[in-house]
Amino acid sequence: MLIAGNWKMFKGPEEAGAFCRALRDAKLPDDVDVVVCPPFVSLAAAVQSLAGTEIGVFAQNCHWDTEGAFTGEISAPMLQELGVYGTLAGHSERRQWFGDTDEVVARRVHACLDAGLHVIACVGETEQERDGGATHDVLRKQVAAFEPDPNLVLAYEPVWAIGTGKTATPETAQDAHETIKELLDVPVLYGGSVKPENAEELLAQPAVDGALVGGASLEVESFAAICRAAARIHS
């Protein structure tokens, strides 16, 4: 089971380093894979602080070209030079605020996989799409952009549950994950207001292979509690 913490635009290098050192000492369960996704400026501090541990460091985004005139972007070789293990791609905030289309996300994902990075690619429907009964159609369209790869993980993050405090019911998450797995045989994480209070119930669903955690990943204790909840599922 994989638990990934997406820090979004929080924690500069100093705070990131301190957080990672505390996380390193938090005695996380050995049978849970753990990843943190700091902002670009904090990746080096995270890598350094987590050196010698099993905790991976992922970026939050990555461009499809190795170099070029792409102001504000970062390439896979740059991430690898830092010691970064993988990257997120297609997070709903990238799609909403920065115009990442399914095609753009697919280009990012394929290039990163080809470069040897691990990728967590995000899919999910908006509240309007859900209310219109289009959840499964949206998931089919988004997942169709990807191909099976041993280094690819998908994250189902219903957009209406990102940063809103709303959470999909375990049954809703299970249903969406089943749809995704019918389309692509890869692990699928759940993302969307995952907290210590609801983590165990969500992670207990058979088709849920872990969690992509937002706000609750910004505090060591809450993030560690989610990791421990994941371990209890398989104990």
DSSP class of residue 81 equals: H
Cα 39–Cα 40–Cα 42 angle in degrees, nearest 5: 70
pLDDT band per the 50, 70, 90 thresholds, residue 235? low
- Active site members: 91, 157
Domain ranges (residues) in the chain: 2-233
Give me 84's structure tokens: 């970064």
Q: 2-233: what fold?
A: TIM Barrel (3.20.20)
Q: What is the pLDDT of residues 10-69, one digit of tens each?
A: 999 999 999 999 999 998 999 999 999 999 999 999 999 999 999 999 999 999 999 999
Give me 62's structure tokens: 């990555």
pLDDT band per the 50, 70, 90 thresholds, residue 105? very high
